Structure 1
């Protein structure tokens, strides 16, 4: 549905630039998370809460945005995202402790959610004939930005530049997408253009298929985003290349999403989701059990597994429950990010508890964390981390195993529905 006087190519690339800012915030934060803990004397639970605030702000913004995008338009939403990104990045650069990091990360999360609230329905509208493929192409900029973010961290570390400078690099793509969106004309959403009533849209999100996909979104989002956000910290003592694991995972996601079209058309969205859950489970299992260079193989398998999760979940809903409109897509995104926020905060506490259990009886966790390198306390803390990281990953492994069962059922259901509809379309 290419609406009149709309330059869909320019709108698509401006959308990709805005998603790049979102993903840079994840990649750079993942790279500096451990450093923030040391500099501001934060334990894993506090770091988990700070990381989780990005996921709290996201569902808040994406759900509210989903309800108002048809009313105020996609362009106004993206101007709001631009302003929140500027404020959140600025406050992060000048953060001086737990609460300033908490508030600035929350603002960036709100900006990130607002970007998705506007851009997911925008891409589905301007490419209504090829939604799942174009959503995969759009969302390749999420892992792409994480790769760029982690490379920025590694490069700037070698140059001796601090984490504040690394965060400040996000100003450049933010100013770029703000400028692009301000000068472009926007279409109305596909739901509005198609004449689907608001009542029909709300009925669509109450159907059993939508509710099933909504629940599955919890699992796909946690599997992908929690692991990618925390893998550097969880496996920092198991390998000297923990940040490289994230780079490999997200790098393979960029390549996979770039070649999504033949895969999605060959196997169907439901089949792609089943294969993804299977490979993600295998990758997580390997991460929790192997060491050394085999961890790089585990990261590769995991990256292939989670590659198509997010965009294919959105594309499936948009294609198979089209009346759900922008609300449906944004409820899915909000569900995923909310689940990740809860899980991340919870697992930060679990990680601390596992470490405490593996330290000498009565040991002060903060004192051991802050101990000087080479001391007995620092060695004990590192050994405890070596146990805790894989254990957290093993706990998370349960989620993609459940998804394998769920998506097997989805494949069977969609094949049955296709056969049932065949006589009517013959």
Structure 2
């Protein structure tokens, strides 16, 4: 008796439902972008209205990121049990409640809570949309994941344009935040009426334990360490506590799974840390560098974000032919090389040439994130939602725990060196007068600008420091270029690895059958 499961072919109605579900996922990502860009635009206004210090503003910004990683890890472990629709309903509820709390905020803690809930919702969205789209398009995962992730930059463009218009027209910030409800209610309405697919891993009969084995102890170690150190940074507990928590979590996982994980998957997880640092970590630097040039031609600094987001959105929407021509690994090889050129070019650019350099960098970083998710999903379909979502979680938490710290350390060290050189050439004492005493970080000792002393400094000294600081940031970009350079080497080795095996080919659990559209 044939035990092969009977798989029904999608009808025209199923195809229409699949398209609507895809666009629901797309719009959900635009909602996450709306929240990010609106908060970035009005944070200074919150600081004045609620008397927030720069530290408090930074904490509100920070809580917009780390709960995302915690949320996506949690849902990855249970999402096949509770269902995709329930997870998206949770995301919608978080987004809705976040907007309400933020609009009625009366101080720091309500703003903090609203941002926290929004980040939780963002993590749930990401935990759903990636495996859902990979399951709906099993033969074109990388293409459709790139199109899906055009939703983020598209949301940045639309949200950025709305934000600039409303700020120029002096709209109340509560109304600006309220516009998040437009994409939120849209995706909420779509998902309520849709049937979600059963993950291909589940449909193929791959057990939960087999999914965990794909990730393995080493994959769990990476995730556990990032989670523990992220929470340790938040709650300021000792390093030893983070290490103990990491070992306990990994030990429990290893006791049940008893697999180190797939070596290629572990390598891709490790690569996600410099990838996320290259893509997300340097964005703030590029925006700051381009802002003076944009002001010279009469534009606000916010247009920088819109400009680079337009490039990313358009390229991701038309990623299909590019992926088909180059293969996912080939695309990552070329993207890494372009990113190196863009960062180095940017470090030497001035005036309008900064725009050109940033364009090259944007071309390089566009395909990184969704293509990596596509490669993981195509090579490890037995890993299901866990493998693809752990990859995104490592990227997001990696840039917070490791990448952002490295970028800050490099910038501080470069500023220290540049101020000393400036003093020697110009017979000044900026290095002695305006830097702090040596501080110790996880990457070594460094000195930073003393904000209190600078606040009391003469205008001429502040201007000199700003010039040196901008040059330090640009010089540091050459150091940051090491990350995509290392990625280029890794991807090139992977390219030859797949070539030795007959070329890059997605791994398919099902062959010659179509996955159905089913209710959770």
Asked whether the two chains share a fold, i.e. TM above 0.5, the reply is yes
Q: Compute the displacement of 1:376 (Å).
A: 4.9
Q: Compute the displacement of 1:34 (Å).
A: 5.8
Contact 1:48–1:348, Cα closer than 8 Å, also in 2: no
From 88, 92, 105, give the equivalent of 1:82: 92
Q: Compute the displacement of 1:285 (Å).
A: 1.9
Where 1:54 maps in the other structure, the secondary structure is: coil
Residue of structure 2 in register with 1:407 after alignment: 491
Distance 2:415 2:111 in 1: 24
From 398, 405, 408, give the equivalent of 2:482: 398
Residue of structure 2 in register with 1:64 after alignment: 74
Residue of structure 1 in register with 2:358 after alignment: 299
- Which whole-Å deviations, capped at 9, do the CAs of 1:345-383 have from their partners, x for residues lacking one? 6645776787799567555844577789x9557645643
Distance 2:456 2:345 in 1: 31
From 265, 268, 275, give the equivalent of 1:210: 265
Residue of structure 2 in register with 1:128 after alignment: 138
Residue of structure 1 in register with 2:342 after alignment: 283
Deviates more, 1:135-144 or 1:277-286: 277-286
> With structure 1 as the length reference, what TM-score do the two structures score?
0.87
Asked if residue 151 in structure 1 is aligned to residue 161 in structure 2, the reply is yes
Give the number of aligned pairs. 420
Residue of structure 2 in register with 1:424 after alignment: none
Distance 1:164 1:284 in 2: 37
Q: Compute the displacement of 1:312 (Å).
A: 0.6
Deviates more, 1:305-314 or 1:355-364: 355-364
Contact 1:42–1:98, Cα closer than 8 Å, also in 2: no
Residue of structure 2 in register with 1:271 after alignment: 330
From 185, 190, 202, give the equivalent of 2:195: 185
* CA RMSD in angstroms, aligned pairs only: 3.2
Q: Which ranges in structure 2 are unaligned for 5 or more consecutive residues?
A: 1-6, 216-260, 420-429, 435-448, 506-520
Residue of structure 1 in register with 2:27 after alignment: 17
Deviates more, 1:395-404 or 1:240-249: 240-249
Structure number with larger C-alpha Rg: 2
Deviates more, 1:301-310 or 1:376-385: 376-385
Asked if residue 336 in structure 1 is aligned to residue 395 in structure 2, the reply is yes
Contact 2:376–2:388, Cα closer than 8 Å, also in 1: yes
Asked if residue 219 in structure 1 is aligned to residue 229 in structure 2, the reply is no
Contact 2:407–2:480, Cα closer than 8 Å, also in 1: no
- Which whole-Å deviations, capped at 9, do the CAs of 1:24-61 have from their partners, x for residues lacking one? 22333444456666765544x66555433322111111
Distance 1:400 1:102, change over 3 A: farther
Residue of structure 1 in register with 2:377 after alignment: 318
Q: Compute the displacement of 1:336 (Å).
A: 0.7
Contact 1:368–1:377, Cα closer than 8 Å, also in 2: no
From 323, 327, 337, give the equivalent of 2:386: 327
Matches within 5 A, 1:85-164: 85-95=95-105, 99-164=109-174
Q: Compute the displacement of 1:270 (Å).
A: 0.3
Distance 1:368 1:279, change over 3 A: farther
Q: Compute the displacement of 1:221 (Å).
A: 1.7
Structure with higher RCO (Cα < 8 A, 6+ apart): 1
Contact 2:339–2:484, Cα closer than 8 Å, also in 1: yes
Contact 1:237–1:385, Cα closer than 8 Å, also in 2: no
- Choose between structure 1 and 2: higher helix proportion: 1
